[in-house]
Structure 1
């Protein structure tokens, strides 16, 4: 079920997506609420599952992962558990999306080197054919939604 969000909820979401460590008093000031009203709104958004957590943003290159790649995987079988186990084990696989179309999965992978990436691709190849695209730069970093979609 979709949660009904008002303009204040969206303002809170925009602020905490920008800075998950913002002080409640400052957040309240920015969205024109008291700290207690802001706290209540945040708790409601968390309880409803709209806010699912707060995370640190890591600079992959400075953390030793200068190679970023998007890998598409064609998975011919119907038993996906072995792949899911690999996804759990390999923390360099940052994200995995099950998709429609020719490819079954799209993965975002951070690697320490091209050789490291090649090793990961070889591991994935046991599940099906892969297509790898190395990322030159991140034109638009990840961002969450900032408001409702019209229409």
Structure 2
């Protein structure tokens, strides 16, 4: 069961995963050792799985972001999945229901770069690509209440 204090800890870590135990204690009103114990329990239960950083790919020359819907050709599902996993510019990919089997996000430097990467997939699948103009909602958690 996730209680209000656990929810506060998770929300604070989502904003800044580098917060110290002391800072988290100040947010929750608990002692630092109590916060440490709660975090350990959340990790053991699999609620907290990673502490991470968020970078802006533009600082590494990836000026474009694309969402690609991918529909493998008959008998090519596993090969398409292998190709997606092998291309590091694919930063996220979900296997989904419906006509398309995969919806993926990738970061590229130029349109030519995008074409080169998609050519590797197009031998095994049909693709439909949209360039991301803006991200009005960044990845976030759903409400953490148990209501």
In the alignment, does 2:121 pair up with 1:124?
yes
* Residue aligning to 1:37: 34
- The residue correspondences of 1:2-17 to structure 2 (distance < 5 A) are 4-17=1-14
5+ residue gaps, structure 2, are none
Q: Distance in 1 between matches of 2:82 and 2:125?
A: 15
State yes or no: 1:64 paired with 2:61.
yes
Structure-2 change in CA distance of 1:85 and 1:28 (3 Å)? same
What is the number of residues matched between the two proteins?
147
Q: 1:86 offset after TM fit, Å?
A: 2.0
Matched, 1:139 2:139: no
Q: Which has the higher contact order (CA 8 A, sep 6+)?
A: 1
Q: Deviations over 1:52-77 (max 9, x none)?
A: 11111110111210110000001244
Distance change >3 Å, CA 35–CA 56, structure 1 → 2: same
- Say which SS state the counterpart of residue 59 (structure 2) adopts: coil
Provide the aligned C-alpha RMSD in A.
1.5
Shift of residue 146, structure 1, vs aligned partner: 4.5
Secondary structure of 1:41's counterpart equals helix
Runs of 5+ consecutive residues of structure 1 not aligned to the other structure: none
Match of 1:46 among 34, 43, 48: 43
Secondary structure class of the residue paired with 1:74? strand
2:76–2:125 Cα contact (<8 Å) kept = no
Q: What is the SS of the residue equivalent to 2:25?
A: helix
TM-score by structure 2 length? 0.92
TM-score normalised by L of structure 1: 0.90
Q: Aligned residue for 1:112?
A: 109
In 1, distance between residues paired with 2:39 and 2:74?
Answer: 43
